[in-house]
């Protein structure tokens, strides 16, 4: 079709009132085909469901219905083969498909749009797309969880320093640290599952905004498209974008989790920490400093979080001032969602790759676990338990021991029994035993604590849940 003909075809779709074509700049700001072509499969699926419903309700003849369904299959095949002639004159995916359908099957194509509008059409297509994106993201997060669980299992008893304020606080296990992320990702997945439930209602048949005078069956189209039910209010049906916002807000929270883990990888791989090592597969060298091994993938996962948060913010702001029902502003809902989905796909895959790739430097972690008097709480706890000392006084005793060790430039475990007894006469050799990092972590058996037995239980419980969790 020539460009002039396409312009004519587009105005033919808006109706006879439009004699002239749009100004070039109008076309540029108005056309969404460059990005909404990603909805083609959902658009055709939605049109087929609508067409079948029209035939069942005797709004369309079976002959027209068959021609439309066959024509839509041809359009789908053309798009998938890369031979479909996308056109900006035809504005968006809906008009591109319909116009091609008319070229293929003639007048019957014009009957497909009976009892619907692009407003409910796009809302339907987009819901179907976001639903698929949720399912894809959930599967990717399950993969990441498995990678974290493998690490947690392998390092359930590997001691490392636990931090608060990024200051060495108390020894923990590497497995316990990995399991903290398993918890976060688990909540991310449950947010997605939850968003999916609310998303899964069909706007199709809301028509432009008010419903339709044709005897449609919205329950049928809802079921055809795998929705739980039709949306109850036609105005809401065409103007709601909560599903996109919920998807992006769940994504943004998840991206924040990935970013925190990425930040830890950046710190842990530094020459000052050396807690873990990433292979050449996930690092780059420096063109000038030969000793460097830069954790670029982790840095970029951290950086990309900004986009996802920005995408959520962008759509929240688009929506905040819109009166009911549809406004063209809502066409700008797609790019943020596509970007968030693409970014999350990449970030989750990169993080999964890094978790599988990394080597844990257990010796470095062990040495760091005991540095900085991290077992000071253990000696205070011992005084409470064995000497029945009030915790506040025990804290004071431990503090004095730390000060002495610090002054002498040694670790707590290097103080002699006599030196310790000079501070607190009740201290015995048994007290000195609690100062090792292994006994410290082994003693933290409270529910949710870092003791290796608790970590192994947590891994087993998470694995059981993972096996049984619905997508
Ligand atoms: N391309 C449009 C969008 O994405 C489709 C709906 C157009 N509706 C309208 N009334 N102009 O929002």
286 in active site: yes
Quote helix, strand, coil % in the chain, to nearest 5: 70, 5, 25
For residue 326 and ligand 1, the question of a CB distance below 6 A is answered with yes
CA of 123 to the centre of ligand 1 (A): 9
Phi (first) and psi of residue 106, to 5 degrees: 80, -145
Global model pTM greater than 0.95: no
Mean pLDDT of 273-292: 87
Q: Which residue's alpha carbon is nearest to atom 2 within ligand 1?
A: 331
pLDDT higher for 343 or 16? Answer: 343
Residue-level pLDDT at 290: 75
For residue 122 and ligand 1, the question of a CB distance below 6 A is answered with yes
Q: Which pairing describes strands 159-164 and 167-173: parallel, antiparallel, or unpaired?
A: antiparallel
- Confidence bin at 3 (pLDDT 50/70/90): low
Phi (first) and psi of residue 129, to 5 degrees: -65, -45
For residue 239 and ligand 1, the question of a CB distance below 6 A is answered with no
Residue-level pLDDT at 7: 57
The sign of the dihedral angle between the CA atoms of 360, 366, 367, 370 is positive
Give the C-alpha separation, 334 to 168, whole Å: 45
Residue-level pLDDT at 92: 97
Residue-level pLDDT at 9: 60
For residue 218 and ligand 1, the question of a CB distance below 6 A is answered with no
pLDDT higher for 409 or 6? Answer: 409
Contact (CB, 8 A) for 259 and 339: no
CA of 290 to the centre of ligand 1 (A): 54
For residue 216 and ligand 1, the question of a CB distance below 6 A is answered with no
Using CA atoms, how far residue 437 sits from 55, 159, 171, 424, in Å, is 74, 7, 6, 22
Give the C-alpha separation, 243 to 248, whole Å: 9
- Confidence bin at 471 (pLDDT 50/70/90): very low
Enumerate residues 6+ apart whose C-beta is below 8 A from 461: none
For residue 331 and ligand 1, the question of a CB distance below 6 A is answered with yes
Q: Which residue's alpha carbon is nearest to atom 4 within ligand 1?
A: 331
Residue-level pLDDT at 285: 83
Mean pLDDT of 126-131: 98
Q: Which residue's alpha carbon is nearest to atom 1 within ligand 1?
A: 92
Pick the catalytic residue from 190, 270, 279, 286: 286
Contact (CB, 8 A) for 201 and 231: yes
Residue-level pLDDT at 255: 98
Ligand 1 mutation pick, 118, 240, 336, max ligand atoms within 8 A of CB:
118
Residue-level pLDDT at 22: 77
Pick the catalytic residue from 83, 165, 287, 446: 165
94 in active site: no
Q: What is the mean pLDDT of the chain?
A: 94
Residue-level pLDDT at 467: 85
For residue 118 and ligand 1, the question of a CB distance below 6 A is answered with yes
Question: Which atom of ligand 1 approaches the CA of 208 most closely?
Answer: 10
Mean pLDDT of 52-75: 98
* Residue 317: burial class (beta carbons within 10 Å; 0-12, 13-18, 19+): exposed
Whether the ω angle into residue 325 lies within 30 degrees of 0, i.e. cis, is yes
Ligand 1 mutation pick, 13, 39, 89, 92, max ligand atoms within 8 A of CB:
92
Mean pLDDT of 218-231: 98
CA of 267 to the centre of ligand 1 (A): 47
Nearest to 117 by CA among 230, 209, 219: 209
DSSP conformation class of 175: H
What residues are paired with 202 via a beta bridge?
230
Enumerate residues 6+ apart whose C-beta is below 8 A from 164: none
For residue 251 and ligand 1, the question of a CB distance below 6 A is answered with no
CA of 471 to the centre of ligand 1 (A): 31
CA of 36 to the centre of ligand 1 (A): 10
Ligand 1 mutation pick, 87, 90, 331, 335, max ligand atoms within 8 A of CB:
331
* Residue 25: burial class (beta carbons within 10 Å; 0-12, 13-18, 19+): exposed
What residues are paired with 161 via a beta bridge?
171
CA of 216 to the centre of ligand 1 (A): 22
């Amino acid at each position: 079709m020539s460009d002039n003909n396409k312009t004519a075809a587009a105005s033919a779709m808006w109706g006879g009132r439009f004699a002239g074509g749009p100004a070039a700049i109008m076309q540029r700001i108005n056309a969404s085909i460059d990005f909404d072509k990603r909805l083609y499969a959902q658009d055709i699926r939605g049109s087929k469901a609508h067409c079948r419903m029209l035939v069942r309700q005797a709004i369309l003849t079976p002959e027209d219905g068959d021609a439309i369904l066959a024509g839509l299959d041809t359009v789908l095949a053309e798009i998938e083969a890369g031979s479909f002639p996308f056109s900006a004159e035809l504005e968006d995916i809906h008009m591109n498909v319909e116009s091609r359908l008319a070229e293929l099957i003639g007048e019957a194509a014009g009957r497909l749009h009976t009892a619907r509008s692009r407003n409910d059409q796009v809302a339907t297509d987009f819901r179907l797309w976001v639903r698929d994106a949720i399912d894809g993201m959930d599967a990717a997060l399950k993969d990441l969880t498995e990678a974290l669980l493998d690490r947690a299992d392998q390092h359930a008893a590997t001691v490392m320093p636990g931090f608060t304020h990024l200051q060495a606080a108390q020894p923990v296990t590497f497995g316990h640290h990995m399991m903290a992320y398993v918890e976060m990702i688990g909540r991310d997945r449950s947010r997605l599952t939850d968003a999916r439930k609310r998303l899964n209602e069909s706007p199709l048949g809301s028509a432009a905004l008010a419903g339709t005078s044709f005897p449609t069956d919205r329950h049928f189209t809802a079921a055809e498209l795998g929705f739980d039910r039709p949306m109850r209010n036609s105005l809401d049906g065409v103007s709601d974008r909560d599903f996109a916002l919920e998807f992006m807000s769940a994504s943004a929270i998840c991206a924040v989790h990935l970013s925190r883990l990425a930040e830890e990888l950046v710190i842990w791989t530094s020459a000052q920490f050396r807690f873990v090592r990433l292979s050449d597969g996930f690092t780059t060298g420096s063109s000038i400093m030969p000793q460097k091994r830069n954790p670029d993938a982790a840095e970029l996962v951290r950086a990309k979080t900004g986009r996802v948060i920005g995408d959520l913010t962008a759509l929240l702001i688009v929506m905040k001032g819109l009166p009911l029902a549809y406004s063209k502003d809502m066409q700008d809902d797609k790019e943020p969602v596509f970007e968030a989905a693409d970014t999350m796909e990449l970030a989750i895959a990169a993080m999964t790759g890094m978790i599988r790739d990394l080597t844990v430097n257990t010796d470095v972690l062990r040495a760091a676990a005991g540095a900085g008097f991290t077992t000071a709480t253990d000696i205070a706890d011992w005084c409470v338990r064995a000497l029945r000392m009030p915790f506040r006084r025990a804290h004071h005793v431990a503090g004095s021991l730390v000060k002495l060790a610090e002054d002498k430039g040694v670790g707590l475990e290097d103080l002699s029994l006599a030196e310790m007894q000079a501070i607190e006469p009740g201290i015995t050799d048994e007290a000195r035993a609690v100062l090792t990092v292994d006994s410290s972590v082994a003693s933290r058996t409270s529910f949710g604590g870092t003791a290796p037995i608790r970590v192994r239980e947590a891994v087993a419980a998470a694995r059981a849940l993972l096996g049984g969790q619905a997508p």
